[in-house]
Amino acid sequence: MLLLSQRHDVSLERIFQYPLGPIPWALATADGALVKTNKAQIMHCIESLTEEDLTALPESSVHVIDGNALFQGMVRPPETFDGFALFVFNGLPASETVHFVTDTYLENSVKQLEHNRRGSSPTYLLGGGKTRLPRDFKTFLHNSENKRQLTRFLLARWQSP
């Protein structure tokens, strides 16, 4: 490219603004393997930028709850899906504004490919609130459809009287 730029009117500065490989390096390595990131790093960075005492939050605070992290962190979930919905709801912070956020794996996404590589579990039919939670709840959460059903169920339960 250096030789071409000397013979032709080519701006190397402009050329190097774009990736030179077929895949952006933020997504894959030179051999085509997916780049993996540690999601906790961004949280540590954000925490290092604040000087406030995070235990003394004002009443008007907005709370954002990572639903998937909450699901994964449960050691002994209740026996039924109704009990699960009540348990999670009662564990939410008493605040004026709470955002309960979950993610999903879109078809053919980097996240879905990694999820498939780690393995999946069978799809479970969530029949209703009295349905018993699977014994191996962590394996249940390995299936994207199971997580979608669980999230829809929680939303429906939390909207009902």
Average confidence (pLDDT) over 31-50 = 79
CA angle, corner 88, sides to 45 and 105, nearest 5? 60
Residue 42: per-residue pLDDT: 80
Residue 53: per-residue pLDDT: 66
Identify the residue whose tokens are 């709840």.
Answer: 137
* Phi/psi at 65 (5° precision): -105, 125
The per-residue pLDDT for range 70-100, each reduced to its tens digit, is 998 888 889 999 999 999 999 998 888 899 9
Closest CA to 100 of 92, 111, 109, 90: 92
Spatial distance between the Cα atoms of 145 and 140, rounded to a whole number of angstroms: 10
Average confidence (pLDDT) over 126-133 = 89
